[in-house]
């Protein structure tokens, strides 16, 4: 797998250091709030597992799994493949995401969860790629691990054709891997 990586963008150590910092902020923010921490599958699993262990408050863990119809002219239409199981009405919700890219999936997720009347919703994304944002998306992440340039990245949960999720770092794929 490593041979397919052009450049390591974020090392394990950089990621873990940033998660520790975010953990202190989120621990303060969610003290006494008993948040429901919602992960958006599948890309978030690695970040989720590390992040929740740094948020040192009582909390509930939950997950959503989305399907996107990405045709040639993708309108970013989404479907809930697996909804949260917790009753989040009146609860403080923290969404964890792997990457904030076009914004389609986060926008959909926030709108979907808002309909369940939570007390609050905040977003924490490991990666933010602002250059890729779909025009018209006004949503912003409340907490960002790293702002990254417009390159396709894999590892630390992120995949290309379901591969590379288990790399411990975030790297940029070699262009020839796309064209194989
Ligand atoms: P969105 O475009 O913001 O809706 O992001 C949708 C999903 O696309 C993300 O949650 C990721 O799973 C995936 N994605 C976006 N950019 C990348 C990337 O650079 N590498 C791997 N997956 C990505
Ligand atoms: Mg994702």
Question: Residues lining ligand 1, judged by CB closer than 6 Å?
Answer: 43, 98-106, 152-154, 158
Q: Which atom from ligand 1 is nearest to the alpha carbon of 108?
A: 4
Catalytic residue selected from 62, 101, 128, 159: 101
Q: What pTM was computed for the model?
A: 0.95
The values of phi and psi at residue 141, to 5°, are: -80, 140
Strand order in the sheet with 153-154: 5-10, 170-173, 153-154
pLDDT in tens, 36-60: 999 999 999 999 999 999 999 999 9
**How confident is residue 102, by pLDDT bands cut at 50, 70 and 90?**
very high
State the pLDDT at residue 71: 54
- DSSP class of residue 149? -
- Smallest CA-to-CA distance from 123 within 99, 159, 149 is with 99
Active site residue 101: yes
DSSP 117-152: --SEEEEEEEEE-GGGPPTT-----SEEEEE--S--
pLDDT tens track for 123-179: 999 999 999 999 999 999 999 999 999 999 999 999 999 999 999 999 999 988 977
Residue appearing with tokens 């630390």:
156
pLDDT of residue 1: 84
Q: What is the pLDDT of residues 2-36, one digit of tens each?
A: 999 999 999 999 999 999 999 999 999 999 999 99
Q: Which of 69, 97, 101 to mutate to test the pocket of ligand 1 (most atoms within 8 A of CB)?
A: 101
How confident is the model at residue 100, as a pLDDT? 97
Statement: residue 66 has pLDDT above 90: yes
* Rounded distance from Cα 1 to ligand 2 centre (Å): 21
69 pLDDT more than 90: no
């Amino acid at each position: 797998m490593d041979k397919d990586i052009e450049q390591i963008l974020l090392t394990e150590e950089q990621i873990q250091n940033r998660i520790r910092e975010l953990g202190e902020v989120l621990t303060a923010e969610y003290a006494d709030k008993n948040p429901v921490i919602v992960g958006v599958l599948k890309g978030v699993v690695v970040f989720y597992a590390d992040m929740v262990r740094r948020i040192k408050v009582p909390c509930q863990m939950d997950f959503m799994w989305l399907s996107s119809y990405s045709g040639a002219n993708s309108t970013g239409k989404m479907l809930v493949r697996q909804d949260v199981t917790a009753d989040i009405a009146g609860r403080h919700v923290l969404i964890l995401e792997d990457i904030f890219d076009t914004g389609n999936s986060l926008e959909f997720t926030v709108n979907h969860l808002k309909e369940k009347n939570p007390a609050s919703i905040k977003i924490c994304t490991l990666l933010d790629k602002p250059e890729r944002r779909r025009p018209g998306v006004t949503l912003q992440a409340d907490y960002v691990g790293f702002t990254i340039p417009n390159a396709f990245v894999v590892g630390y949960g992120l995949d290309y054709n379901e591969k590379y999720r288990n790399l411990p770092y975030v790297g940029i794929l070699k262009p020839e891997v796309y064209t194989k």
